[in-house]
């Protein structure tokens, strides 16, 4: 299942609390922000089918990268062997 880093916008505290209470979303909890236009935003990591569920529940989701694919690419930036031996 593809997994994405996203920014989720919710209209109020209750909606943001429900991300965790009800939907068990993997939130980056210190990215939560109160928006000047009202409501809140938070970054999170979601599987593709979670995105549809949250959108149907009234959240606005902005997708960033496919964290699974990008993370796999990033694994090429890990040392091979042992530079200390």
Partner 1 sequence: MPYLNVAEVETALAVANTQPNNTITQLISLPNQTWEGRGCHALKIANGTGPGRPGIYFIGGVHAREWGSSDILINFVEQLLQAYQANKGITLGSSKFTAAQIQSIVNTKDIYIFPQVNPDGRHYSMTVDPDWRMNRRPAANAHPTCLGVDINRNYDFLWDYPVYFDPNAPIVNSKDPCSPDYTYIGPAVFSEPETRNVVWMMDTFPNIRYFIDIHSYSEDILYCWGDDQNQIVNQSMSFQNSAFNGKRGIANDATYREYIDPTDQAAIVALATQMRDAIKGVRGRSYTVEQSLSLYPTAGTSDDYAFSRHRTDPTKPKIFAYTIEWGSPSNATPFHPRYTEMQRIIREVTAGLLDFCVRAT
Long-range contacts of 34-41 (CB under 8 A, 24+ apart): 35/9, 38/11, 39/9, 39/10, 39/11, 39/12, 39/15, 40/9, 40/10, 40/12, 40/13, 40/15, 40/16, 41/7, 41/8, 41/9, 41/10
17-46 footprint of partner 1 as x/- string (CB under 8 A): xxxxx--xxxxxxxxx-------x-xx-x-
Taking the least distance from each CB to partner 1, the nearer of 37 and 44 is 44
Smallest gap from residue 49 Cβ to partner 1 (A): 10
Q: Rule CB under 8 A: which residues touch partner 1? A: 3, 5, 13, 16-21, 24-32, 40, 42-43, 45, 47, 50, 64-65, 67-68, 70-72, 74-75, 77-80, 82-85
């Amino acid at each position: 299942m593809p997994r994405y880093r996203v920014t989720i916008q919710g209209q109020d505290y209750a909606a943001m609390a429900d991300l965790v209470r009800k939907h068990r979303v993997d939130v980056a909890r210190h990215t939560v922000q109160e928006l000047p236009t009202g409501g809140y935003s938070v970054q999170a990591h979601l599987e593709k089918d979670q995105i549809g569920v949250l959108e149907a529940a009234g959240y606005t989701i902005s997708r960033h990268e496919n964290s699974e694919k990008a993370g796999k690419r990033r694994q090429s930036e890990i040392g091979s062997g042992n530079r200390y031996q």
